[in-house]
Amino acid sequence: MAPTECFNCQKSRAVIIRPKNRHKLCRECFLAVFEAEVHETIISNSLFTRGERIAIGASGGKDSTVLASVLKTLNERHDYGLDLCLLSIDEGIKGYRDDSLETVKRNSRQYGMPLVIVGYGELYGWTMDQVVEQIGKKGNCTYCGVFRRQALDRGAERLGIKHVVTGHNADDVAETVMMNLLRGDLPRLSRGTNIVTGSSSSDIKRSKPLKYAYEKEIVLYAHHKQLDYFSTECIYSPEAFRGSARTLIKDLEKIRPSSILDIVRSGEEMAALVPIPDGGQAAPEEDSAVGGCGSQNGRTRGGEMAEMEKTLTENEAAASLETEIKISPLQTSAIPLPKRKNKPKKPQQKPTSKKQVLGKCERCGYITSQKWCHACTLLEGLNKSRPKTTIEMEISPEEEESSATLRRQMEQVQLTG
Amino acid sequence: MPGKQLSSPCMDCRDADSVFMIRSRRLCRNCYIRFVDYKVFRRMEKYRLRKDIPKTGPCRLLLPLSCGLGSAALLHMIHTQIEDFRSKPYGPAGFDLHVLLIDLSCISSRRLPRDDIVEVLQRRFPLASFTQLPLHSIFEFVPDLQEVLPKYAGQGYADDYLLSSKERLDAFRASISSATSAADVDSILLNRLVVAFAKRIDCLGVLWGDSDDRLAARTLASVSKGRGSSLTWQVSDGMSPFGLEFNFPLRDLFTVELQNYANSFPELADIIVPDTPLSDNVLTKNLSIDQLMLRYVSSQGTKYPGVMSNVTRTANKLEAPRMLTDRRRCALCDSFIHDLGGPTMDDKKSSSLPEFCYACDRSRPGLS
């Protein structure tokens, strides 16, 4: 069979079928089209300003490596005038992060970008390895996610940079839309689809220049540009089941390749329709709107659906117990007098719709709506169970019991956190 | 007096043996039916008591009937409600029910159960009025579509005015090769026919017979097809962009629950055409997105019914008035075009075409 010509230049031999629209392209045309699309995203959303210093959140994985490479290329080609540097987080996971950080260090030399590494150990006094040792393999992703978000902000602060870009791709965003739809979390759905986030609650802006780029195309780009990236998944998440949303999206992509972008589009449309309580600002972003680690995005600890189902059933059961109260406004609406009877109900409802007031964490000064920020709350739990001295006395049965209680409380923290 | 010895008494009346399990409660047949009826009754209160609508004068509602489980069960429930409020001497004015029976045999394997179906229905549900229409009567009700369809389909379809409506519709549908696009366009045409008919006979609103899991599947499918902003009328109660109120009174009930309900009424047996079950052997890539989502919801829904109904409830919370639009309408689906600004993901835009919304554009032949 004669080799197929490139759809674009009609000269070279096509070596790639674009996952996005099944066009057959040659290597050069594919790289050019991919870069042009990211450029288009950057320009039409006015992501950057001239002379801006940008930190690229770099994990050494495919997404952030491609992001760094593309931004470097575009910055030179279109003269954005950006000052780019790499910002990595060292979660302290042996056999995973130390290797991927080596990749980032090589990237830093290859692209001539300065690199800053911020470690969980120095920031929080806990590496992920220690956290896992403490709380076990289940649910530690909550800690990692909360810590990472703050660590990125603190790293950027240390560099004096106000804008962090991350490698979230279209698949990630589509997953967030589906996942939050299944979870019934509209505010988070809305935040996850925004290309720029976090500007209202933190002075550090975040953006996702690869928001419209397919994961498959990112892999192809990395492959054809022979980029140096690290492809091992986090050792703490391999057994986590592939999230319902992720599988669903892969199936959708088989039926209609454009559906990933269509979901992103739907997410954007829905984001505009999300009700805003009390006419105020949308809820501030405290957790990462798009899940933590690239490789385990959209995955959940098994049983998340089951847990959610349980809560919903309980809510429904509770709601059915409420029916008596619910009916009363209906009956009273016909008669003008008893309206007052409704009054005591109001203060009950108020607390739920209370507007979140942003303040500073009493411990670390990070922006939060609570007394302590999420990371400090988690740390408090961790530190409580850490022995204060290295040498320990024999544990009395009582103490052992209390530590078991604490562990149980910790598990509850994970569930609600 | 010693109570009756029942092996598993109904948890509501404690007077009969339980037959069904609903929401982890064991109920007897009567209590079960009361429970299911009440879910729909509550949703219809607005029209029965005429809240926020004129207390006198006509209040007509349209029920599109496909003779599937949902719409047939809904017809039965609402007819019972009408019987009930009309039997009260000083009851509220209530509403009138008109049923539009649509013959879907030209777009699916679903056939009407019998030829004299309208007469049978009229006999069994005397308080409602009935009309039967084929889908291709859309050309008569929405004449504009005769112009729009050839432009929508592009080169693959040449309209021939000499052909009958049915043949024209068939030719148009044949020009759409992808299963997803075909299903998408079918549901749009169906919706437009229902809306046009409802307006012609001065209806105030439409009562759709979609059960909870159907709505969940439709929510997920619409999102996957880029119809995020259409959720405000495709699965949500309230005013639609077409000037009619859309209601989904079965939104609190699952298909299984409706099946149990329908089985309790022999007069429904020969009216309902059962759904042909989706074969498990079909490759995922040959399914339409709507079928994939129905399959997903039915497989996950048996394990996690609450999660699925939560999807529908979540979609119902979206607020249509927040939509960013300058009231331009899509030529095909007639909903408002959501204007997001920002990057358009289309490769080309030609101005000679009538305007289509993002999702309708996606379903155009040759593009997907």
pLDDT tens-digit readout, B99-149? 999 988 777 777 788 888 999 999 999 999 999 999 999 999 999 998 899
Q: Which residue of A has its CA nearest to B311?
A: A182
Per-residue pLDDT at B157: 81
Beta carbons of B318 and A273 less than 8 Å apart: yes
Distance (Å, rounded) from C-alpha A266 to C-alpha B225?
8
The amino acid present at B29, given as its one-letter code, is: R
Which of B184, B185, B224, B344 to mutate: most A Cβ within 10 Å? B224
Distance (Å, rounded) from C-alpha A23 to C-alpha A5?
11
Per-residue pLDDT at A345: 46
Residue position matching structure tokens 């490759």:
B283
Distance (Å, rounded) from C-alpha B13 to C-alpha B9?
8
Beta carbons of A305 and B232 less than 8 Å apart: no
Distance (Å, rounded) from C-alpha A271 to C-alpha A173?
12
CATH homologous superfamily for the domain B46-362: HUPs (3.40.50.620)
Of B228, B307, B319, the CB nearest to A182: B307
Q: Is the pLDDT of residue B4 over 80?
A: no
Contacts of A251 in chain B (CB under 8 A): 284, 292
Q: Is B65 helix (H, G, I), strand (E, B) or coil?
A: strand
Distance (Å, rounded) from C-alpha B233 to C-alpha B239?
7
How far off is chain A from B62, nearest CA to CA, in Å?
Answer: 26
Assess contact for A51 and A37: CB atoms under 8 A: no
Q: Is the pLDDT of residue B10 over 80?
A: yes
Q: Is the pLDDT of residue A200 over 80?
A: no
Beta carbons of B226 and A266 less than 8 Å apart: yes
Beta carbons of A44 and B368 less than 8 Å apart: no
B131 vs A322, more confident: B131
Distance (Å, rounded) from C-alpha A336 to C-alpha B262?
41
Distance (Å, rounded) from C-alpha B315 to C-alpha B294?
17
For A10-33, write each residue's pLDDT tens digit: 888 999 888 888 889 999 999 999
Residue B314: alpha-carbon gap to chain centroid: 18
Q: Which residue of B has its CA nearest to A257?
A: B368
Distance (Å, rounded) from C-alpha B31 to C-alpha B43?
19
Distance (Å, rounded) from C-alpha B99 to C-alpha B129?
6
Distance (Å, rounded) from C-alpha B343 to C-alpha A183?
28
Query: Closest Cα to residue A172, out of A215, A129, A142?
Result: A215
Return the structure tokens found at B185: 């366009």
Q: Is the pLDDT of residue B96 over 50?
A: yes
Question: How does DSSP assign A329-392, residue by residue?
Answer: HHHHTTSSGGGGGGTTHHHHHGGGGPPP--EE-TTT--EESSSS-HHHHHHHHHHHTS-SSSS-
How far off is chain B from A85, nearest CA to CA, in Å?
Answer: 27
Assess contact for A24 and A194: CB atoms under 8 A: no
Question: What is the DSSP secondary structure assignment for residue A6, as one 8-state letter?
Answer: P
Per-residue pLDDT at A207: 92
Assess contact for B222 and B230: CB atoms under 8 A: yes
For B242-266, write each residue's pLDDT tens digit: 999 999 999 999 999 999 999 999 9
Of A248, A275, A309, the CB nearest to B307: A309
Q: Which residue of B has its CA nearest to A244?
A: B300
Residue A350: pLDDT band with limits 50, 70, 90:
very low
Of B178, B180, B232, the CB nearest to A273: B232
For residue B74, give Cα distances in angstroms to A316, B248, B258.
23, 10, 9
Q: Is the pLDDT of residue A194 over 70?
A: yes
Domains of chain A, first to last = 28-235+242-274+286-295 (3.40.50.620), 356-385+402-417 (no CATH)
Per-residue pLDDT at A351: 46
How far off is chain A from B336, nearest CA to CA, in Å?
Answer: 12
Assess contact for A414 and A142: CB atoms under 8 A: yes
Query: Closest Cα to residue A22, out of A3, A42, A4?
Result: A4
User: Residues of B numbered 175-234 whose beta carbons fall under 8 angstroms of chain A's beta carbons: which are they?
Assistant: 178-180, 219-220, 222-229, 231-232
Beta carbons of A45 and B343 less than 8 Å apart: yes
Of B219, B289, B315, the CB nearest to A256: B289
Contacts of A275 in chain B (CB under 8 A): 317-319, 322
For B309-368, write each residue's pLDDT tens digit: 889 999 999 988 877 777 889 999 999 988 776 444 444 444 556 789 999 988 887 665
Domains of chain B, by residue range, sit at: 46-362
Q: Is the pLDDT of residue A415 over 60?
A: no
How far off is chain B from A205, nearest CA to CA, in Å?
Answer: 19
B288 touches chain A (CB under 8 A): yes
Distance (Å, rounded) from C-alpha A139 to C-alpha A145?
11
Distance (Å, rounded) from C-alpha A234 to C-alpha A142?
14
Beta carbons of B223 and A263 less than 8 Å apart: yes
Of B179, B317, B359, the CB nearest to A275: B317
Of B227, B288, B314, the CB nearest to A181: B314
Burial bucket for residue A408 (CB in 10 Å: 0-12, 13-18, 19+): exposed
Distance (Å, rounded) from C-alpha B203 to C-alpha B217?
27
Residue A388: pLDDT band with limits 50, 70, 90:
low
Residue position matching structure tokens 């409600």:
B81
User: Residues of B numbered 327-366 whose beta carbons fall under 8 angstroms of chain A's beta carbons: which are they?
Assistant: 338, 340, 342-343, 345, 358-359, 362
Per-residue pLDDT at A299: 43
Question: What is the SS3 string spanning A203-224?
Answer: CCEEECCCCCCCHHHHHHHHHH
B278 vs A60, more confident: A60
- Residue A52 has φ and ψ, to the nearest 5°, of -65, 145
Per-residue pLDDT at A348: 46
For B136-194, write each residue's pLDDT tens digit: 999 999 999 988 998 888 887 887 878 888 899 999 998 888 889 999 999 999 999 99
Beta carbons of B324 and A305 less than 8 Å apart: no
Per-residue pLDDT at B77: 96
Residue B340: Cβ within 10 Å count: 17
Contacts of A32 (CB under 8 A, 6+ apart): none
For A279-320, write each residue's pLDDT tens digit: 444 444 444 444 445 444 444 445 667 777 778 777 777 766
Q: Is the pLDDT of residue A191 over 70?
A: yes
Per-residue pLDDT at A343: 46
